[in-house]
Amino acid sequence: MRTNFRSWMLALPLTVVLALFLLLPMVMIFVVSFWGATEFSIYPAFQFDNYSYLFGSSVVWSVFASTLMYTIVTWVVTLVVGFTVAYFLAFHIRDTTTQMGLFLLCTIPFWTSNIIRMISWVPFLGRNGLANQALMGMGITDEPLEWLLFSDFSVILAFVHLYTLFMVVPIFNTMVRIDRSLIEAARDNGASGFQILTNVIIPLTKPGIMIGSIFVVALVMGDFITVRFMSGSQSANVGRLISNDIGLLQYPSAAATSVVLLVTVMIVISIMLRFVNIRKEL
């Protein structure tokens, strides 16, 4: 009995912090999502006008579709790049010091803010930027490519640049813990490199892949500043929709959109978790 009481007391501070700074704000957002608003005021009420507008607007559906498109494409690209980088570091770099040095090298972009990293793409991808100048210099194109900047391509490129490391870290952490004797046993039994990859390495790396995927999906679906900067305000996602409502002081509408976005993210993550039991695997 004393042990249980001590355990509860140890967990109490964290429980209070989570309740005050996580659960309570989420409950408040949920409550405010049912309130009403005019051009000049917000009034407490219990109505479904905000949700009716969300689910009845073709514009909102289009924004959610764009958000889902950004998320899927970014997830696929970051998974391929992240898995490749992690595989190279874990299995092709034998020296631990070199391995850690190259791994830390991947974190250099995080030494600056996201906004600075996004802005750095503008002079590179612009009409008179380095990319267009190089393409025209090599004779690949006769005129600057307009779609390199302020387009869906630039948005996804920025997402990949910003969030690939969130895929590399958990996959690399899982790969370095794989027992090398399993790989040697598979090779001794005549397995090819591709068979070892698909039947040994990838199944054992599933927890890392899933953790990285959760990070990337949650970050991309909640991001709004990247879409605003890299699309030149020509595209939108759900995060930007919420930001615009807040800027217009339409807090009930922003709260309703936040609730729908949160539920969507939770559904996506719950579907992903059905493919692997992270707690059991780790």
Residue that has been written with the tokens 């539920």 in this structure? 263
Query: Contact, 261 vs 222, CB < 8 A?
Result: yes
pLDDT at 138: 87
Q: Where are the domains of the chain?
A: 56-281
* Other C-beta atoms lying within 10 Å of the C-beta of residue 107: 11
CA distance 162 to 24: 30
pLDDT at 171: 94
- CATH 1.10.3720.10 applies to domain 56-281: yes
pLDDT in tens, the chain (282 residues): 566 777 788 888 888 999 999 899 999 999 999 998 887 788 898 899 999 988 988 889 999 999 999 999 999 999 999 999 999 988 888 778 888 888 888 887 777 788 888 888 888 888 888 888 888 888 888 888 888 888 899 999 999 999 999 999 999 999 988 888 888 888 888 888 889 988 999 999 998 999 999 999 999 998 888 888 888 878 888 988 898 888 888 999 999 999 999 999 999 888 888 877 766 555
**What own/partner pairs with CB < 8 Å and gap ≥ 24 does 266-273 have?**
268/71, 268/217, 268/221, 269/214, 269/217, 269/218, 272/210, 272/213, 272/214, 272/217, 273/210
Q: What are phi and psi of 126, to 5 degrees?
A: -65, 175
pLDDT at 211: 92
Structure tokens, 133? 């100048």
pLDDT at 1: 56
Q: How many helices (H) and strands (E) are present in the chain, helices listed first?
A: 17, 2
Structure tokens, 226? 């990247």
